[in-house]
């Protein structure tokens, strides 16, 4: 069993309206890779968000009273807090410098996934621009997958990932926020282990496992490798979605 991950070289800085499918095809060609059945492309959230024009200039944001109040408590820009609130279902925790929310997409994360790093907009005023997550990452992944399958004639998977912290561990890791053509969760309940014991509770977050592996190649700073080609994924490519990986509130011991 061999799993091969290849960071695609030469991906340019992505701007609103750029055709990610064409950019990925060009990067695959530079890497001397042809898509085959079962391949997966893992994409950093930022290139998807940028192509979908999810950029916001903070100078255009007018914070409300709630945002002003929270901002004074956590020492953040009230305009940023206003965006965080708009992108969230619920505020779960706050502390100076951090606000933890349930994002509108259903997962728990810091600052609603809104990012300052490696973000610039029109006029190049980097400090004023922030980037929101894709509005519907599953839909974005599906659109890219279908287009690539039509061009290549093969069945593939596409996953969009972001860096998330964890409630019980230090450090961020790559996590799946959008899936198309591959499973997010592998349910092993009912299968025997090596000694014949029937597994009763084991489910494996294969989407997040692959996201973490790809994130090692993408990096977190100035690496400039936001797309990773995967070959040898050890499970069948069935269509999955982000919902598979979201823990229901009634099972979440941290809320």
**33 and 60 assigned to the same domain:** no
**45 and 72 assigned to the same domain:** no
Annotate 223-244 with DSSP letters as a single string.
----EEEEE--SS------GGG
One digit per residue, the tens of pLDDT, for the chain of length 255 reads 899 999 999 999 999 999 999 999 999 999 999 999 999 999 999 999 999 999 999 999 999 999 999 999 999 999 999 999 999 999 999 999 999 999 999 999 999 999 876 676 655 555 689 999 999 999 999 999 999 999 999 999 999 999 998 888 999 999 999 999 999 998 776 677 777 776 676 788 899 999 999 999 997 655 689 999 999 999 999 999 999 999 998 888 877
The residues, any chain, with a CB within 8 Å of residue 230's CB and separated by 6 or more, are 3, 4, 5, 6, 39, 40, 41, 42, 210, 214
pLDDT of 115: 86
**140 and 173 assigned to the same domain:** yes
pLDDT of 175: 96
Q: Could you tell me the residue range of the domain that residue 154 belongs to?
A: 4-54+133-247
**150 and 198 assigned to the same domain:** yes
Which tokens belong to 251?
A: 């099972």
Q: Are 219 and 193 in contact (CB under 8 A)?
A: no
pLDDT of 69: 96
**226 and 141 assigned to the same domain:** yes
Bridge partners (DSSP) of residue 57 are: 129
What is the spatial distance between Cα 129 and Cα 124, in angstroms, rounded to a whole number? Answer: 9
Q: What is the CATH number of the domain that holds 206?
A: 3.30.1330.100
Q: Of 131, 159, 174, which marks where a domain is finished?
A: 131
Q: Are 92 and 86 in contact (CB under 8 A)?
A: no
SS (H, E, C) 38-93: CCEEEEEHHHHHHHCCCEEEHHHCCCCHHHHHHHHHHCCCHHHHHHHHHCEEEEEE
Whether residue 61 lies inside any domain: the answer is yes
pLDDT of 35: 98
N-term to C-term CA, the chain = 39
What is the spatial distance between Cα 163 and Cα 172, in angstroms, rounded to a whole number? Answer: 6
Segment 182-206, tens digit of pLDDT? 999 987 766 777 777 766 767 888 9
pLDDT of 121: 63
What is the spatial distance between Cα 226 and Cα 118, in angstroms, rounded to a whole number? Answer: 12
């Amino acid at each position: 069993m061999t799993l091969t991950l290849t960071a695609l070289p030469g991906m340019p800085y992505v701007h609103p309206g750029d055709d990610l499918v064409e950019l990925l095809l060009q990067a695959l060609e530079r890497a001397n890779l042809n898509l085959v059945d079962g391949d997966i492309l893992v994409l950093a959230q930022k290139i998807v968000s940028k192509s979908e024009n999810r950029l916001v200039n903070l100078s255009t944001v007018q914070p409300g009273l709630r945002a002003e109040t929270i901002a004074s408590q956590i020492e953040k820009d009230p305009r940023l807090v206003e965006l965080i609130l708009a992108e969230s279902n619920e505020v779960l925790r706050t502390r100076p410098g951090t606000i933890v929310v349930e994002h509108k997409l259903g997962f728990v994360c810091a600052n609603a996934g809104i990012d300052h790093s490696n973000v610039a907009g029109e006029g190049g005023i980097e400090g004023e621009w922030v980037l929101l997550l894709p509005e519907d990452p599953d839909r974005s992944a599906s659109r890219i997958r279908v287009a690539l399958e039509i061009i290549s004639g093969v069945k593939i998977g596409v996953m969009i990932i972001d860096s998330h912290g964890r409630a019980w561990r230090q450090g961020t890791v790559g996590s799946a926020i959008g899936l198309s053509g591959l499973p997010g969760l592998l349910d092993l309940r009912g299968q025997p282990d090596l000694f014949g014991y029937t597994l009763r509770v084991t489910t494996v977050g294969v989407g997040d496992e692959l996201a973490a592996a790809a994130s090692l190649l993408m990096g977190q700073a100035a690496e400039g490798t936001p797309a990773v080609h995967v070959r040898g994924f050890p499970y069948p490519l069935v269509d999955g979605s982000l919902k598979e990986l979201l823990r229901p509130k009634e099972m979440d011991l941290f809320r």
